[in-house]
Amino acid sequence: MFGIDSSELLVIVIIAVIVIGPKDLPRALYKVGQIVGKAQGMARHFRTGIDAMVREVELEELEKKWAAQNKRIMDEHPPEPMPANEVLPAPAEDKPAFVAQSAPVDDKPAFVVESAPATSAPAPAVPAPEGPSYLAGPAAQPPKGDAAA
């Protein structure tokens, strides 16, 4: 990345161990890593900004080129003017000419499924159970008196 060979990196590591010391070396390497990461992020942000500006300039150049080609083509082939006094003929039928004849339409679409006929008598109402729905039956009453003991 920076053009550092392995022998140069070894010399840098030995000097770092001597100057910083083995106790503080991990903390120093952590800080160096943070600084390098921030520098890479700033470089990436700068590069994307430059790329966006280049793309905008290229788009503007293409738009100018396309506009010039469009103008040249329109000058070579001018549109034919329509006479203002010419009246279009009326259609012969009630339907417009662009409407095609369609197949006969059934009352029901083919994909509709008929349901079973409804019964005329409503279903009998089921009384709602008393008490909470998680109980199976009526709660059993504990026996009263000395028999409970």
For tokens 């000419």, the residue is 97
Mean pLDDT of 91-113: 58
Give the count of alpha carbons within 13 A of 53, CB side only. 6
Total domain count, the chain? 1
Give the model confidence (pLDDT) of 116-147 as tens digits: 666 666 666 666 666 666 665 555 555 666 65
Residue 38 placed within a domain: yes
The pLDDT of residue 140 is 54
Give the model confidence (pLDDT) of 44-96 as tens digits: 999 999 999 999 999 999 999 999 999 999 999 887 776 666 666 666 666 55
* Residue 57, CA distances (Å) to 42, 47, 69 in order: 23, 16, 19
pLDDT higher than threshold 90 for residue 30: yes
What is the C-alpha separation between 108 and 104, in angstroms, rounded?
12
Are residues 25 and 17 in contact, defined by beta-carbon separation less than 8 angstroms? yes
Residue 123 placed within a domain: no
pLDDT higher than threshold 70 for residue 108: no
Are residues 28 and 16 in contact, defined by beta-carbon separation less than 8 angstroms? yes
pTM assigned to the model: 0.38
Residue 16 placed within a domain: yes
Are residues 63 and 56 in contact, defined by beta-carbon separation less than 8 angstroms? no
| Domain carrying residue 37 | 6-76
Q: Which two tokens stand for residue 116?
A: 């079973």
The pLDDT of residue 4 is 77
Residue 122 placed within a domain: no
Are residues 133 and 141 in contact, defined by beta-carbon separation less than 8 angstroms? no
Residue 15 placed within a domain: yes
Are residues 91 and 97 in contact, defined by beta-carbon separation less than 8 angstroms? yes
pLDDT higher than threshold 60 for residue 10: yes
Residue 45 placed within a domain: yes
Residue 100 placed within a domain: no
The pLDDT of residue 59 is 96
State how far Cα 74 lies from the chain centre. 40
Give the model confidence (pLDDT) of 31-43 as tens digits: 989 999 999 999 9
Residue 146 placed within a domain: no
